[in-house]
Chain A
Amino acid sequence: MIKILLVEDMPDTVELVRRALSTYDYEVVHAPDAETGLELALEQRPSLILLDLGLPDYDGQTLAGWLRAESALADTPIIAFTAWPQETARKMVESYGCNGYIQKPILKVRDFVDQIESFIKAQ
């Protein structure tokens, strides 16, 4: 089973992502904040990290920078998951070493899963 780490504080979004991905045989590990996200990323070694940019303890960019600085996670795709305008999201993704971004909200589950798959295959 491919493991995805979801770092996200909004319970409704967590539930939606968990349902969407588990339907397609992904395992979702969830961290509700940045510190837990860093801990789980190192402990669980997921195949992809899906990262909300607005977290309650540190923001998502700070966490992305820290994840990227960990050599053990150098090849793990980090995907920003955000409702920010595309231009802002693109700028943050490039600056903080993320591999891409997925726009919130999820409108079509199949499209969302396809995006996740394409980021995993690109590695």
Chain B
Amino acid sequence: MTDEKIQLVPTSRFTIEQLTAIYNQTRVDYLVPMPMNAKRLAAYIADYDVDLEHSLVAMQGDELLGVAMLGVRAGRAWITRLGVLPNTRRGGVGKALMTGLIENAAKLNRNFVMLEVIKNNVPAHQLFLKLGFREVGELLVLRRPPIMPPPDPVVADAQRLEQLDALRLTSRARGAMPWTNQSETLINANEVSGLHITLADDSRGWLVYQRQKFTLTRFAYKTEVGNPTTVAYAFLSHLHHQYPRLDTQLENMQVNDPHLPAFYEMGYVESFRRIEMWLGDPPPNLNTPTGSETRIKVS
């Protein structure tokens, strides 16, 4: 890098193919690289309400240095896909991008900013702490392989929920969930449906999910009455009985979620962990954690 000033350019000035290429270049040496093609990045932008006018590419002259994106929803913003090209790291590019996004969020009157960082990504974690973000929770990325034998469904009254009914349930207050799991994500997604379960002892709860071509993903769930582990085991048994050949990916489940034992019992394995961090305070309508959404200090 030269001493020339870093310029921050809105991502809207680039094509989706260019953004995909920049993003992938910033991740080539990551332990969990998570590359994307243009179609996948476009879906990511749409599902997570990424605002391309207020997201940024860092440049120096004609040289691309990095990228970072800003999701914008009512009363909150989210920083995601931050990446700096390997040969330009430690030159202030990440800090410039982050500062630019925080300023852009403030211009949009979003003073509450959320993000997640992969656990053990020390340089990024340290940068976020220096910029004033605080840790609010530890999140799990779980998977369940499709080769597992389908479970026997637990005896229960299981009602399928069509998209509209499913979304109605997720729209009820579920506290300040991680961005990826918020109601808006499910509203933006296709092929969303759900399952309402009532067990013989009147325990009950629901699960809403997205069914993609090869995967089940984007879970939202709640135990209305009863033991969360029992209710979760029941809805998962019905789900995986119904879709035995689909891979399942569960993003950002909180480590203290009382439903978690049921997921492990159903064959889910931990892929990796993230730390969730916040800058500012959530607006009152989001700051209503209930049960499983109560945050803990990370380990």
Contacts and interface: CB of A to CB of B under 8 A. Distances in A.
Interface of A: 9-10, 33, 54-59, 61-62, 64-66, 68-69, 83-85, 88, 91-92, 95-97
Contact of B272 (A59, A68, A88): A88
Given A84-B32, A88-B272, A69 B146 contact: yes
A97 B147 contact: yes
B122 interface: no
Interface in B108-139: none
Q: Looking at chain A's contact residues, is the secondary structure mostly helix, strand, loop, or mixed?
A: loop
A57 B40 contact: yes
A92 B269 contact: yes
Interface of B: 24, 28, 31-37, 39-40, 143, 145-147, 214-215, 245, 247, 249, 267, 269-272
Given A65-B247, A92-B271, A85 B145 contact: no
A71 to B, nearest CB: 12
A2 B218 CA distance: 41
Contacts of B245: 69
9 contacts: A54-B35, A56-B40, A57-B37, A61-B247, A65-B147, A66-B146, A69-B245, A88-B272, A91-B270
B147 A88 contact: no
Contacts, number: 58
B145 A96 contact: yes
B215 A96 contact: no
B23 to A, nearest CB: 10
Contacts of B143: 61, 92, 95
Nearest to B144: A95
Nearest to B34: A54
Given A10-B28, A92-B271, A58 B215 contact: yes
Contact of B37 (A56, A91, A96, A97): A56
A120 B276 CA distance: 43
Given A56-B36, A92-B143, 17 more contacts: A10-B28, A54-B33, A54-B35, A56-B24, A56-B35, A61-B247, A65-B145, A65-B146, A66-B146, A66-B247, A68-B146, A68-B147, A85-B31, A91-B269, A92-B271, A96-B147, A97-B147
